[in-house]
Structure 1
Amino acid sequence: MRKELYNAIKEKLNVNVPEVAHIALWNHNVEFIEQEDNWERPAVFVEIATINCSPFQGRGHRGKGLVRLHIVTDWIEGGQDAAWDLSYKIHSTLEGLDGERFNGMTLVAIDTNHNHEDILESIDSYEVRYLMTE
């Protein structure tokens, strides 16, 4: 289900938000930006957070969790406006996204990370419901 969710997000963004130049899994990419290979911006890093699970009708499990999108753009004069416009376009594209083993993707929180000199990181958190059956 995590693989399906990640691939669905990536595919939807590639089709509907072509200005996103790089999409990958989150691995504290922004914190170690000087140590990493360069990646093009704007970039979206997908962080699949803890999934809380419970039994589902005697077989499998269902779960609920957060998916955080780290939307990274260049910080230049007026860059925040472009970053926030991009964040809104991504939200409009992904709201309600569902698949065979996940559904109900909905925006629940927005955070702006101001701790970097040359980049702006917007962190948009979505709640997702999962179905884990055999």
Structure 2
Amino acid sequence: MEAWTDLYNEIAQRINDKLPEVSWVDLWHEQVSYLTEEIPFPTPAVFIGFNTNGCNDLSQLIQECDLQVDMYLFFESFGDTYHGAYNQGNAIDYLRLLSKLHAAFHGVSGEHFQTMRRVDMHREESGGSGNLYRISFNCNVEDASAQAEFNQNEVNDITISDEPIERPSTTDDEPIFILHV
């Protein structure tokens, strides 16, 4: 991957493709804890968070990172969802969606990440505003975002000569570069 946006866009697109019932995909920044201050979003919603567990240098500022991808599934639900309640169907739909989110990523490789595997799943505190579970996946990514970028330029002023090259005079602090072909 050349930028974290590559990874985020690939994961968000997979969520949109595999879980059409999800109404909102966003980066995680604890939106559900601040529902009154946040821009309203429709539910069910999936929020994505990234955490590196370690990185190894490869070369040319490229790193292989052991990455944890947290996916927060939020569904706004204020009614009773206990067994036999009028809102039990919503609870069942939520649990099915949680299972579909797991199935959409566990054992899957992408263009910007190696095979994901689920490493954790548990309920998160939502401030009483709904159901919030976090599924954590682990995968490896190759992060080339710090790699130097080179622009391709056209070079028009090259002269090739068979005549001997005279060494230029230099001072001690001037490097000399001679290309001999």
Q: TM-score, normalised by structure 2?
A: 0.67
Specify the alignment match of 1:63 in structure 2. Answer: 65
Structure number with bigger Rg: 2
Distance of 1:3 and 1:97 partners within structure 2: 19
Distance 1:98 1:3 in 2: 17
- Other-structure match for 1:122: 133
Percent identity between matched residues is: 23
Return the letter of the residue paired with 1:84.
L
Could you tell me which amino acid in structure 1 is paired with residue 71 of structure 2? L
Contact 2:32 2:129 in 1 (8 A): no
Could you report, residue by residue, the CA deviation over 1:86-111 in whole angstroms, capped at 9, with x for unpaired residues? 01101111223333332121111001
User: d(CA) in 2 for partners of 1:114 and 1:26?
Assistant: 14
Instruction: Give the RMSD, CA atoms, in angstroms.
Output: 1.8
Q: Secondary structure at the match of 1:104?
A: coil
Matched, 1:82 2:93: yes
Instruction: Note if contact 2:124-2:132 (Cα within 8 Å) is conserved in structure 1.
Output: yes
Is 1:101–2:103 an aligned residue pair? no
Query: Following the alignment from structure 2 to structure 1, what is the Cα–Cα distance between the partners of residues 120 and 42?
Result: 25
Task: Give me the TM-score of the superposition, normalised by structure 1.
Answer: 0.88
Amino acid at match of 1:108: V
Letter in 2 for 1:67: V
Residue of structure 2 in register with 1:111 after alignment: 122
- In 1, the alpha carbon distance for the partners of 2:129 and 2:34 equals 13
Query: Does the 8 Å contact 2:32/2:126 carry over to 1?
Result: no
Distance of 1:30 and 1:115 partners within structure 2: 6
Give the SS at the match of 1:89.
helix
2:6 alignment partner in structure 1: 4
3-state DSSP of counterpart to 2:116: strand
Name whichever of 4-13 and 70-79 sits farther off. 70-79
- Number of equivalences: 133
Query: Which of 1 and 2 has higher RCO (CA within 8 Å, sep 6+)?
Result: 1
**1:22-58 superposed Cα distances (whole Å, 9 cap, x missing partner):** 00111111111111121000000001123521122x4
Shift of 1:82: 2.1
Q: What amino acid sits opposite 2:12 in the alignment?
A: K
In the alignment, which residue of structure 1 is the partner of 2:161?
Answer: none
Q: What secondary structure sits across from 2:42 in the alignment?
A: coil
